[in-house]
Amino acid sequence: MEHAMTLVIFTFLSQMAIGAFACLFFIDTYKEKISERSTVISLITILAISAVAVVVSVFHLGHPFAAYRALLNFGASWLTREIVFFPLFMFFVLLYTFFAKTKAQKQILGWTTVVFGAVTIFSTAMIYTIPSVPAWNNGTTLAAFFLTALLPGPILVQLLLALLEKRTVNFNLYTTVVAFLALLLNGVTVSVLKSGLPAAVESAGLLTASPLFWIKIATLAAAFALAGYFLLKKKAGTVSTVTTLFALVIVAEFLGRILFYSSGVHL
Amino acid sequence: MSKVSRRTFLKGSAVLGALAGIGGTASSFKKIKPAKAAGKKKQVFSSCPRNCYDTCSIVTTVEDGTIKFVTGNMNNTYTNGRLCVKGYTYPNYVYSPDRIKYPMRQKERGSGKWERISWDEAYDIIAKKILEIKKEYGTTLPIALNKYSGNFNVLNNAVEGMLSSWGYTTRAQGTPCWPAGIDSQTFDFGAAVANDPEVMVKAKYLIVWGANPAWTSVHSMSIIERAKENGTKIVVIDPIMTDTASKADEYIGIKASTDGALALGMAKYILDHNLHDMEWMKKNSIGYEEYLNYLRNNITVEWASEKTGVPVEVIERLAREYAAAKPAAIWLGYGLQRHTNGGASVRAIDALAAMTGNIGVAGGGANYAQTECYGFNYAVQSAGTPPEGDKAGGDRMLNMNNFPAQVLAINNDPEQIPIKMLWVACRNPIAQDPEASVSYKAFESIDFIVTADLWFNETVKQSDIVLPVSSIFETWGLTASYWHYWVNVNEPAIEPLYESKSDLEIAMGISKRLNELEPGSCTYPTDRSIEEWISNELADDFIKKFGFKTWRDILEKGTAKVEGYEAAWSDGKFRTPSGKYEFLSETCAANGHHALPVYVEEMEVPKDRPIRLFSPHWKYGLHSQFQNLEWMRSIHNEPFVEIHPALAKKKGIEDGDMVRVESEVGYVEVKAKITHTVPKDAVVIYEAWYKEQNFNANFLLKATPSDMGSYATGQAGLAFHDQFVTVEKI
Amino acid sequence: MAKKQKRYAFLINLERCIGCNACTVSCKSFYDLHPSINRRFVRETSELLTGTPKRNYISTSCNHCDRPACATACPTGAYIKLDNGIVKHNQDRCIGCRMCATACPYGVPQFDPVKKKMDKCDMCVDRLEAGEQPICVVSCPLEAIAIVDLNEIDESQVVADLPGFADSSITGSSTRFILPKGTTVVRGGIKSWNTL
Ligand code: SF4
Ligand code: SF4
Ligand code: SF4
């Protein structure tokens, strides 16, 4: 697999998995009663996605079997930190899946998991928040990575529940707001880049010249419109609308991640 | 006799290999036989044989029979233990996967369908073809040779010897590089003899005129930098702001081909202000009165300014500074004479140096070239003499600088003995000759083409048989420079790779087969060892110049200097008919030029193609060599055309755009590079052969002759820089 | 008294550098690098560096930074900053994740496609320790590269930044440059401009 593609897949899947877990945890612990079967299947799906992310990421190494050596620089390297925290997140998802029975247990394990997930996303973002790539060296990287957790993650859960429980949890307000933020971030990013160093300005040019960027905007706008429509209609939507929504946001976020790497002009 | 030749040959090289261990500078020199050298580290002396000012002496480190590193030989004070970028790529050159490994036959020219054949088969095919031609025409005149400067190892002259040993043949004669200037200096001095470039540091003032040593002679560039740091003022005169000009104190962006006008204008000012050296002229020259009168009556500084585009006050200041500095040196580059008035320009500059008494002075001079180090016997060449009975009675000479057109003219004329077979060695004429499209046609008109080379280059692609040639690291050699005064020996560092052979071995191999097929049909000796060949080249009187007792003494340091050229011509013994410096040269007049170094009008710029094209040498290659190598490609692999921002703007061209450059004879499509360093009315494309790219500057070049060259080199040179094009964005 | 610790750095003389890449190729040859990678890079820099246009180059390799971004990015700790200033990459540790190449403002570390590990200039530390100069230093035909001790040189005579070279303050690049001198340029005008 092409070098940058492995990174695209890892960051995208890991962030979506983290967001999905957080969503599931909040619903499960604080909002609605979900059947145990649905919860376990959803959690296993999240774990499976995480596992795929890890496997793919290992293949971006020249020496996959020496991956353990990537743990050696915790003191300085955000990559090491990411490599430490993401498996910790996964481990706690596992614990949560099989050992969180009471609400208190759920709260303790759930929150710990969410924190490890958030720290993972923060670490990943910090890997890229570096002066050598001016387009990345600002808050938009962190914002973009968290939005990948916050947008496709919950919709994934929504979809899983719709399939498993044959009912649609109503996320429309949430989705509308986050999709709007995601749309907004694109504008913010482009204007931040345009006012940055020459390399960042070049990145902005690459970004807006790419058809992928406009497809991303269009899919986000469609997701925003769809969720907004059901919000106004005060309807939860059907399996097929959730599926559509999910398809729209994963396309948007995946393309966004491809663009992130391909437009990151080095100094 | 011929049966043992191969074995004798090998024995000879083994003996010499053992000798390589004697003495030496590097600590790891050991007296070891090559056969037992495996697994050990050794260092041997090599010599770069390219057509280059610097002709470096190289120290090659070999480990386990593999070349590990090459670097400059410290014993050679000119190269100072350093090489240029091309030299450092030699390990990649030797071990390149692209090398031709075996003799091969191509099914159809240009098809790339090569089949491997054995050396015996190759020799057999070639020998039978030669005999067939000889039988049909009663002479070997239908066989032509096109060989030049790809490898200046003296042993490679075996190719000329080989052809002579078959009979009288057709030859590409002349030299594309420098002939106009060689003629000029021959008329003025009797020969081109430059001061030892190592004493350039002694100059108080140095004019580098139409040369770009930063790219073509890096070791001289280093000397120039040293001079500059010592306080020498460096002035570069060139239409292009080259890398050399970029290092100068002052750069004069002269209008191309008007160099003679600048020299005459400066001389006029010097004369008017009585800054000339009358005493030197009286003592050492003839024709000076006529020359001074010509200046008085025909030249003004204003005229020179008008011609050259250089402001009057600048010409005056240059003249003052040059005349006042003692000594002041001029380096005349080959670029300046690649014009239809190039020879005349060189004569005008020579005269400027002479009238200021800068000839015969260390740190002075009108330095163009020298051939004083070529004291070889050329035994490999003279060993072949036409066998009895060739009815031609002499070789047929074609102009190397217009070879394809002349071949076509002969082959289209039923009255003439046609050219049926072509041998190409040490040359890539299709990539390097002007009017590349004519070259293709000329090749088509020849029945049988054999090329001996290392690479599947453009010429090989149009051949029937290719013979794999060994690199210098796999054979013996001797090389001399035409600029510095060192002669280098080249010892084999490794065994020949694949089935490659040197040109000398090939000559002997063909001779053997010819004599097997028809005894007496070839006179080339097949029983001499390489040791004998080398010793034949370094004759006793030549090695005495180095204080050597035997030729083997050169193996001790790998390099030896011909002394006594700190100040060429300081003895006042010029080699002209008069024995003096000739401002007025009857010989020059007898050759159809002016007797005096007068101004000859430059070529008119055609109205429909108003942009001048320069195609000078490229820094990552020497003609068609080196740029094709992997290591070079990792640095640069894209041809480009340099365009001034003003011209680019006019044409709507931006940096990186593809443009079409078109001349009278062809076009190329190439990437634009916008730079302030080229004139507004000219573009620059560096000539080079890029692997697997359909790019060749010579698609654009016309075979326009320069004014001089035929007197000393047999044929006029080429006006490479009098080429005109249009440039459009694609 | 203990001798002051050395801070080795490259000093590149732009007045001498002709952009020939002999440094790049000699290094590549000596270390038998994969054909596709180099440890030294020669780039063109602004033609207008000294006012009048001319050809200027910068030859750089690793800048042996004071705060090496490569070392911070590397998850294996393969990079170490030696006491003498040299940033050394330990290939035995490297897992080829290429994070250093992204993080280095100069894009210095290169991925060796055969070893599948990164490769980077180590200032020929073995040669320096043996009292010899680096290969690029001894190979440059113009003697444009030197190794200096930053504790010894007069910083007012050199610069750390040039157009086309990432801001030295990001990582504390130790490379210093001698700026080229200006050249007086006389360029004749052309008459036939309108016909071009
Ligand atoms: S070898 Fe020297 S002159 Fe050539 S590019 Fe390198 S530093 Fe510059
Ligand atoms: S130049 Fe790059 S590789 Fe070298 S020390 Fe600095 S950050 Fe590291
Ligand atoms: S110091 Fe050594 S490793 Fe670094 S670029 Fe120069 S030759 Fe290469």
Give the model confidence (pLDDT) of A160-211 as tens digits: 988 888 877 888 889 999 999 999 999 999 999 999 999 999 999 999 999 9
Q: B202 CA distance to ligand 1 centroid (A)? A: 25
Q: Which residues of A touch C (CB under 8 A)?
A: 3, 60-63, 66-67, 69-73, 76-80, 83, 127-128, 130-133, 266-267
Which pLDDT value is given to residue C95? 94
Chain C contact for B676 (CB, 8 A cutoff):
yes
**CA B512 vs CA B162, B496, B505: distances in Å:** 11, 21, 11
Q: Does B28 have pLDDT greater than 80? A: no
Verify whether the Cβ–Cβ distance A62 to C74 is below 8 Å. Answer: no
Collapsed DSSP state (helix, strand, coil) of residue C1: coil
Strand partners, A247: none
Tell me the shortest Cα–Cα distance from C189 to chain A, in angstroms.
Answer: 35
Higher pLDDT, B692 or C127: C127
Nearest CA in chain C to A4: C98
Q: Does B7 have pLDDT greater than 60? A: no
Show the tokens assigned to A101.
């029975």
Tell me the shortest Cα–Cα distance from B690 to chain C, in angstroms.
Answer: 17
Task: Give the lowest-confidence range in B44-58, B515-529, B531-545, C131-145.
Answer: B531-545
Chain B contact for C13 (CB, 8 A cutoff):
no
* 3-state secondary structure string across B324-384: HCCCEEEEECCHHHCCCCHHHHHHHHHHHHHHCCCCCCCCCCEECCECCCCCCCCHHHHCC
Verify whether the Cβ–Cβ distance C190 to B309 is below 8 Å. Answer: yes
In this predicted model, what pLDDT tens digit does every residue of C33-89 receive, in sequence order? 999 999 999 999 999 998 889 999 999 999 999 999 999 999 999 999 999 999 999
Q: Which residues of A70-99 are buried (b: 16+ CB within 10 A; e: fewer)?
A: bbbbeeebbbbbbbbbbebbbebbbbbbee
- Measure CB to CB from residue B241 to each of C35, C38, C53 and give the nearest one: C53
In this predicted model, what pLDDT tens digit does every residue of B350-388 receive, in sequence order? 999 999 999 999 999 999 999 888 888 888 998 888 888
Q: Do chains B and C touch (3 or more CB pairs under 8 A)?
A: yes
- Measure CB to CB from residue C105 to each of A76, A78, A267 and give the nearest one: A267
- Measure CB to CB from residue B310 to each of C16, C139, C188 and give the nearest one: C188
**CA B312 vs CA B181, B262, B304, C93: distances in Å:** 27, 10, 8, 67
Mean pLDDT, range B681-699, rounded to an integer? 92
> From the candidates C183, C192, C193, C195, which should be mutated to test the interface with B, based on the most B CB atoms within 10 A?
C183
What average pLDDT does the structure give for chain B? 91
Nearest CA in chain B to C185: B251
Q: What is the ipTM of this complex?
A: 0.94
Nearest to B387 by CA among B514, B300, B267, B287: B514
Residues 6+ apart with CB under 8 A from C85: C6, C7, C8, C9, C64, C150, C174
Q: Does B34 have pLDDT greater than 80? A: no
Residues 6+ apart with CB under 8 A from B328: B203, B204, B205, B206, B207, B322, B356, B358, B363, B364
Mean pLDDT, range A13-22, rounded to an integer? 95
Show the tokens assigned to B288.
């000076």
In this predicted model, what pLDDT tens digit does every residue of B424-482 receive, in sequence order? 999 999 989 999 899 999 999 999 999 999 999 999 999 999 999 999 999 999 999 99
Asked whether the beta carbons of A22 and C59 are under 8 A apart, the reply is no
The DSSP bridge pattern shows strands B66-72 and B57-63 to be: antiparallel
Chain B contact for C182 (CB, 8 A cutoff):
no
Q: Kindly report the protein residue whose alpha carbon is nearest to atom 4 of ligand 2.
A: C62
Asked whether the beta carbons of C172 and C29 are under 8 A apart, the reply is no
> What residue ranges of chain B are covered by domains with CATH 2.40.40.20?
611-729
Per-residue pLDDT in tens (0 to 9) along chain C, 196 residues: 456 788 999 999 999 999 999 999 999 999 999 999 999 999 999 999 988 899 999 999 999 999 999 999 999 999 999 999 999 999 999 999 999 999 999 999 999 999 999 999 999 999 999 999 999 999 999 999 999 999 999 999 999 999 989 999 999 999 999 999 989 998 875 554 455 5
Q: C88 CA distance to ligand 2 centroid (A)? A: 9
Q: Does B548 have pLDDT greater than 90? A: no
Q: Which residues in chain A have their CB less than 8 angstroms from residue C109's CB?
A: none
Between positions 41 and 80 of C, the ones with CB within 8 A of B are 42, 47-48, 53-56
Q: Which residues in chain C have their CB less than 8 angstroms from residue B82's CB?
A: 22, 138-141
Q: B90 CA distance to ligand 1 centroid (A)? A: 18
- Measure CB to CB from residue B222 to each of C28, C143, C180 and give the nearest one: C143
- Measure CB to CB from residue C75 to each of A70, A130, A267 and give the nearest one: A70
> From the candidates C17, C21, C132, which should be mutated to test the interface with B, based on the most B CB atoms within 10 A?
C21
Verify whether the Cβ–Cβ distance C37 to B634 is below 8 Å. Answer: yes
Give all chains having 3 or more CB-to-CB distances under 8 Å with chain A.
C
Q: Which residues in chain C have their CB less than 8 angstroms from residue A80's CB?
A: 75
> Could you say which of 3.30.70.360, 2.40.30.10, 2.40.40.20, 3.40.1190.10 is the CATH number of the domain covering B611-729?
2.40.40.20
> Ligand 3 within 6 A of C61 CB?
yes
Fold adopted by A2-262: Formate dehydrogenase/DMSO reductase fold (1.20.1630)
> Ligand 1 within 6 A of C140 CB?
yes
In this predicted model, what pLDDT tens digit does every residue of A90-143 receive, in sequence order? 999 999 998 888 888 888 999 999 999 999 999 999 999 999 999 999 999 999
> Could you say which of 3.40.50.300, 3.40.50.620, 3.40.50.740, 3.40.630.10 is the CATH number of the domain covering B104-174+374-471+500-545?
3.40.50.740
Asked whether the beta carbons of B718 and B704 are under 8 A apart, the reply is yes
Q: Does B26 have pLDDT greater than 70? A: no
Mean pLDDT, range B702-720, rounded to an integer? 93
CATH class of C8-195: alpha beta
Mean pLDDT, range B392-404, rounded to an integer? 91
What average pLDDT does the structure give for chain A? 91
In this predicted model, what pLDDT tens digit does every residue of B74-131 receive, in sequence order? 999 999 899 999 999 999 999 999 999 999 999 999 999 999 999 999 999 999 999 9
Verify whether the Cβ–Cβ distance A73 to C96 is below 8 Å. Answer: no
Q: Does B9 have pLDDT greater than 70? A: no
Mean pLDDT, range B395-410, rounded to an integer? 94
Q: Hey, what amino acid is at B591?
A: N
Chain A contact for C46 (CB, 8 A cutoff):
no
Tell me the shortest Cα–Cα distance from A116 to chain C, in angstroms.
Answer: 19
Atom number, ligand 2, closest to the C-alpha of residue C70: 8
In this predicted model, what pLDDT tens digit does every residue of A34-53 receive, in sequence order? 888 888 999 999 999 999 99
Verify whether the Cβ–Cβ distance B246 to C185 is below 8 Å. Answer: no
Q: B84 CA distance to ligand 1 centroid (A)? A: 9
Please compute, for residue B3, the number of CA atoms within 13 A of its CA located in the half-sphere on the CB side. Answer: 0
If pLDDT is split at 50, 70 and 90, which confidence band does B21 have? Answer: very low
Nearest to B134 by CA among B538, B338, B464, B417: B417
Question: What interhelical angle do A152-165 and A36-58 show, nearest 10?
Answer: 140
Sign of the alpha-carbon torsion through B518, B520, B522, B527: positive
> Which ligand minimizes its atom distance to the CA of C56?
1
Asked whether the beta carbons of A115 and A179 are under 8 A apart, the reply is no
Chain A contact for C116 (CB, 8 A cutoff):
yes
Which pLDDT value is given to residue B39? 59
Atom number, ligand 3, closest to the C-alpha of residue C135: 7
Write the CATH number of the domain with boundaries B195-368+574-590: 3.40.228.10
Q: Of the residues C27, C119, C174, which should be mutated to test ligand 3's pocket, given the most ligand atoms within 8 Å of the CB? A: C27
Atom number, ligand 1, closest to the C-alpha of residue C24: 6
Q: Does B655 have pLDDT greater than 60? A: yes
Which pLDDT value is given to residue C189? 59
Which pLDDT value is given to residue B551? 86
If pLDDT is split at 50, 70 and 90, which confidence band does B632 have? Answer: very high
Which pLDDT value is given to residue A168? 79
Residues lining ligand 2, Cβ inside 6 A = C 62-65, 68-70, 87, 104, 106, 108-109, 120, 171
Which pLDDT value is given to residue B484? 95
Q: Does B300 have pLDDT greater than 60? A: yes
Asked whether the beta carbons of B436 and B157 are under 8 A apart, the reply is no
Tell me the shortest Cα–Cα distance from A15 to chain C, in angstroms.
Answer: 20
In this predicted model, what pLDDT tens digit does every residue of B153-199 receive, in sequence order? 999 999 999 999 999 999 999 889 899 999 999 999 999 999 999 99
Q: State phi, psi for B350 to the nearest 5 degrees.
A: -55, -45
If pLDDT is split at 50, 70 and 90, which confidence band does A32 have? Answer: confident
Q: What is the percentage of chain B residues whose pLDDT exceeds 90?
A: 85
> Ligand 1 within 6 A of C22 CB?
yes
Asked whether the beta carbons of A8 and A261 are under 8 A apart, the reply is yes
